[in-house]
Structure 1
Amino acid sequence: NFIKKQKGGNYLRAEIKLIVKAKAIIPYNYQHALTALIYRGLGAESQRLATFLHDTGFRQNTKTFKFFTFSPLSFTNFKTIREGIVVFPGFASFKVSSPLPEFIDYLTSGLWVIRNFKFLNLPVSIREIVPLPLKNFKDEEIFVLKSPLVLAVKNEEKTTPTYLTYVEDRDLYREKLLNNLINKYRVYYGREPEISTFDFTYDESFFKEKLPTRLITYKDQKIRGLCAPFKIKTNPELISLGYYAGFGEKNSMGFGFVE
């Protein structure tokens, strides 16, 4: 049990800074390659943890959680074309987050082991890894989504889930988000959370021109989520778990990362 048996690392987030060595084009939908890089980094230091998260994860009934998420890549020198992102020599970075004890320690140590590699067809090397300080949360916080927040409902008549866009049913959206946080809490802490209040609202000034949804293709899945600032009010332990594990679903695919 990786949650209870390990003593805990000092950091739950880190920024991975890269040097881009040569020009290359990468696809817009690169999230699966970042997931693979994270598993590779973990495996270089702890194959047991990497295999457990990849193959099994933490389960409760039909729910499975990997308890990590990551931000999109940021490039200092790039342009976008129809075929993808043209990246020029310079720098890049992304952030990784996990509430699991020692996850960041294992990941960052492992990435140093493999520090020269190709990300898809982009030759890079690790320039620096910056551990980010722990945060303390109040019972009301405002966050900015750096990657889309995904919530879905299953329909027996359809083979693919219906992704919620908040505006069609705000109450259902809040209910699904709260249930997701509660399930994560149960698995992580092994007990029920204390919840005296729960409220969640997006900053709808971002909705005026068009709904800020993003459609991302992850391998063969087309996943739609919402990317906007939001305010959440509830138990600070639930807020902290959402911050470090990701809000909503499909966090280990790079969804629900906030700052």
Structure 2
Amino acid sequence: MRLYLQITRSTETVPFNYQHYLTGALHKWIGAENDIHDKTSLYSFSWLQQVNTNADGIRTTDRSSFFISAYDDKLIKKILYGIRQDPVIGFGIKVSGVQITAPPAFSNKEIFRTASPILIKKRQDNNEKHIEYNDPHAGKYLTEVLQKKLTIAGLSGEGLSIGFDMTYPSPRTKIVKYKEIGNRVNICPVIIEGSPEQIEFAWHVGVGNSTGIGFGALK
């Protein structure tokens, strides 16, 4: 399931690198007693949508929102309960409304735009390299990450294929800091081929690395 969260207007300017605040709110809603900390994330969340930007950061409006998506419906219900207990996110922002959405029906091939940039991390020569969309192995790495998550969930990864949509007219990369750690991320749609079940799983959990801290969410 997916939770679309309508949020209130901010009373303070939100810094551009705000992902860890959303991550903190998410874990607050899940609760201290949970088994997802430090585990491979079978969930994802978008960046804030419909915001105003200025030189110092962003401001949310009465039209702003974001979503949280998870493969496990029990996790979504736990998050929903947490929101009802304490809807505060920070910077004067609260959750003002929630829409619960079931996944759409998928075919064997879908193109997804990103709701947060895609991060691909690969260990090479004892260093962590961040892979860009035009790397010839980028699709292979994306596929391997999702296949690992499918295995964790008890699903088959056979026949799955993911790649960046190289017909997209304006792909780009940027550096996004998470708690002062810079990450080279990709802003480009992805094409996913596989079974409808595999594609639905990707819609829930996102693609690439670090979906649990706000990367790789799919619209």
If the length of structure 1 is used for normalisation, what is the TM-score? 0.77
- Deviation of residue 192 (structure 1)? 4.1
2:129 to 162, 175, 178: 162
Identity %: 21
How far 1:118 sits from its partner (Å)? 5.1
1:20 aligns with 2:9: yes
Alignment partner of 2:42: what SS? Answer: coil
Q: How many residues align?
A: 219
Letter in 2 for 1:48: E
Give, in angstroms, the shift of residue 19 of structure 1: 1.5
User: Which secondary structure does the structure 1 equivalent of 2:4 belong to?
Assistant: strand
What pairs with 1:173-188 in structure 2 (closer than 5 Å)?
173-188=138-153
Q: 1:246 aligns with which of 206, 210, 217?
A: 206
Aligned to 2:74: 102
* Aligned position for 1:53: 36
Aligned pairs for 1:1-259 (under 5 A) are 12-20=1-9, 22=11, 24-43=12-31, 47-49=32-34, 52-54=35-37, 56-57=38-39, 65-75=40-50, 78-81=52-55, 83-85=56-58, 87=59, 90-115=62-87, 117=88, 119=90, 122-158=91-127, 161-169=128-136, 172-189=137-154, 192-195=156-159, 198=161, 200-207=163-170, 211-259=171-219
Q: Name the Cα RMSD after superposition.
A: 2.0
- Structure 2 CA distance for aligned equivalents of residues 105 and 234 of structure 1: 28
Normalising by the residue count of structure 2, what TM-score does the alignment of the two structures yield?
0.90
Deviation of the 1:71 alpha carbon: 0.6
8 Å contact from structure 1 (residues 194, 235) kept in 2: no
Instruction: Give the distance between the partners of 1:35 and 1:102, measured in 2 at CA.
Output: 18
In our comparison, the structure showing a higher alpha carbon Rg is 1
Structure with bigger helix share is 1
Gaps of 5+ in 2: none
SS at match of 1:53: coil
- The runs of 5 or more residues in structure 1 that have no matched partner are 1-11, 58-64
